[in-house]
Structure 1
Amino acid sequence: MTSQTLPTTIVLHLGAHKTASTHLQHAITAALPIDGVTFAGPQALRGVGKSLPELFGFPFDPDSATASDLPPQAALMALADGADRLVLSEETFAGKLQRGWGRIPTPLYFTAPGRVVQLARAFAEAGGPAIDLCLGIRNPTGYLGSAYSQILSGNRAVLPDKFKEHNPFTVVDWADYVQRLRACKGVRSLTVWRYEDYADLFPAICTAMVGTPDVTPLDERIQPRLSEQAVDTILLAKQWTGAAFKREAAEALPTTASNPPYDLYDAQTHTASRAFYADQCRAIAAMPDVTFLQK
């Protein structure tokens, strides 16, 4: 039976995609129960009537969604289930990884600020606290390369040059995204970390998320990138349709020492991306009211 109390802390982890979000969600889930914490990840927040917009009365697509009949306070109490700290982790809340034929949305996650404001307003109406946001970021070429691998694993086979033409690495502007999130009414704090530092910062990330570093990281890699041979095979047969073939190619030709992960970019582009990313990280670290975790 759900306890009729409101949480005093609400943490919203926005991902982003391709920043070890799934690994973090699985590790926290494996560590449960954690005293005083209710954790709701994708398994709890996806499906008809389960998403945060549906639960709190602002469904993204009212024509196909099921909005909750519960008032905001009752919905928040039910979600928190008596815990003092409610942790929500759902990267799709910020928006889609790609739109159309392999295009990364610009500006990055442009729907996220409006959605955060709507959710914060619902929490405030329920008598709950302002939101503490958490966010992982990643080197633009690494982010885009991993996104491309995921797109190929899905139902589309976009040629590499076409993907790069549509998505120059400069579209991945984390500083602009963080600045837009900072401006959201109803946000109390914002904690940011680099994907590249994820392993070293894992205890600090878990402390920001669930209030304790006592979470054990999982050994396995979640959603590994496609190998060079797998990508070549998928593109060779791009006239074939269906996810089954792509999955079989990925499983038959996994990443190994002799079959490295597919790299979408050349060394010169990686170098330019790292410089662009370093400038963004410096800008984020200098922002007031932002905690930028660093090793």
Structure 2
Amino acid sequence: MVLNLHLGAHKTATTHLQLSLRMAQHELRDNGVFYADPAIVRGDNFPLIQGLNAPPGQRDAERLAARRFHHLREMYPWLLCSDENFLGGTHRDVMFGRRGEIYPQGAQRLRKLLRMAGGGPATLFLSVREPASFNASAFSLQLILGNELMAEDYMAGRDPTSLNWTGLVRRLLSIEGAARIVVWRYEDYPRLRGRILRRMLPPHLARQVPDPAPVNEGMSQPAYEWLAEQAMTQTDADLRQLAAKARERFPRSAGHAPMRPFRPEEHQRSQAGYEADLDRLRQMPRVEFLEPRASAAPV
């Protein structure tokens, strides 16, 4: 039985990949692959996320999810589960630890997830992203949700250039049942999408997964500037509603530049640190690092 877990780091094209797979879910099931994405694992019938979020001592959701997993493993030879909240949420106090580590509870949550799944071996799938760009996009999401306004408050003293993906991967692979992990750069996703799907699915089914239009447009720089100005003058305004108006006025799809809350030199330092981090990832045992071939075209 194959168990594949797409850990779906936030802001790494996770939603696009999930939507692609959801569009093919019936054909996948007809061919022995059960695909469970947020529409399923956040529901009452298969409460994986509820089980992960439940405090100690409250295990009803965990038990129900475990029973559902057991039933699915008897019915399907191939399970693929995907959710960006498997590792944690997007709030700054959840996404980042006190020392700035990404998804500080990620390993503990994976251990609990594998327990609900009935154990491994499981292949993990994870996309990584350049730190400053990742932090900017995560901040953009919190703006859209109405939870944040100023980048310095969101960062809370964290260096936007120092995000250690190697540390996260090491913690995840330390969990019993985590057999291996497939990693790729978010920046390479369009060129690697076909190969990613061939790792997640039986290869002959990967070509049946459609490629929908991009989703989840972020905040543009003019939208952020307008939002900040309005929020300063309308102190009682609903930030979420203001953010929606800002995105409508200055959409990325109209050619407005993406929001850049960090200085150019910080992005340069971030890129250099990212390359060093990727080199360490490439050398790690049980890591398959996907990279575009020299002549590869988008799939």
TM-score calculated relative to the size of structure 1? 0.86
The reply on whether 1:43 has 2:36 as its aligned counterpart is no
Q: What's 1:221 paired with?
A: 214
What is the deviation of 1:59? 5.0
Residue pair 1:103, 1:166 contacting (<8 A) in 2 also: no
Which residue is 2:263 aligned to? 266
SS at match of 1:223: coil
What's the offset of the Cα at 1:232?
Answer: 1.0
One-letter code aligned to 1:116: L
Matches within 5 A, 1:151-166: 151-166=142-157
**Which residue identity lines up with residue 41 of structure 1 in the other structure?**
D
Q: Deviations over 1:178-234 (max 9, x none)?
A: 111111111111111100110111011111222333154534221111111211121
The yes-or-no answer on 1:118 pairing with 2:112 is: yes
Q: 1:252 and 1:11 mapped to 2: Cα distance?
A: 41
1:198 correspondence with 2:189: yes
| Cα distance change, pair 215–176 in 1 and its aligned pair in 2 (3 A) | farther
**What is the one-letter code of the residue matched to 1:114?**
Q
How far did residue 109 of structure 1 move?
0.7
CA deviation after TM superposition for structure 1 residue 65, in Å: 7.7
Deviations 1:247-289 (A, max 9, x none): 1221222025652111122221111101100111110110011
Are the counterparts in 2 of residues 97 and 147 from structure 1 also a CA contact under 8 Å?
yes
> What pairs with 1:1-295 in structure 2 (closer than 5 Å)?
8-32=1-25, 33-34=27-28, 35-48=31-44, 50-52=46-48, 54=50, 60-61=54-55, 66-67=60-61, 70=64, 72=66, 74-80=67-73, 82-100=75-93, 104-105=96-97, 106-124=100-118, 129-212=120-203, 213-216=206-209, 218-238=211-231, 239=235, 240-256=237-253, 259-295=256-292
User: 1:157, 1:234 within 8 Å by CA — same for their partners in 2?
Assistant: no
CA contact (8 A) 1:54 1:68 kept: yes
1:5 matched residue in structure 2: none
How much has 1:167 moved relative to structure 2? Answer: 2.9
**Counterpart AA for 2:115:** R
- Residue range with higher mean Cα deviation, 138-147 or 28-37: 28-37
> Distance in 2 between the 1:70 and 1:64 partners?
12
Shift of 1:51: 2.7
RMSD, matched Cα: 2.5
Are the counterparts in 1 of residues 111 and 176 from structure 2 also a CA contact under 8 Å?
Answer: yes
Percentage of matched positions with identical amino acids: 27
- Partners of 1:164 and 1:99 lie apart in 2 by 8
Aligned residues: 281
Q: Alpha carbons of 1:81 and 1:166: their partners in 2 closer, same or farther (altered >3 Å)?
A: farther
Change (3 A) 1:269 1:171: closer
CA distance in 2 between counterparts of 1:120 and 1:84 reads 17
TM-score, normalised to structure 2, is 0.85
- Cα 1:266/1:71, change in 2 over 3 Å: closer
What runs of 5+ residues in structure 1 fail to find an aligned partner?
A: 1-7
SS at match of 1:162: helix
Q: Which has the higher helix share?
A: 2
CA deviations over 1:148-186 (Å, ceiling 9, x no partner): 111110122321333345331244210110111111111
Report the CA distance between 1:140 and its aligned residue: 0.4
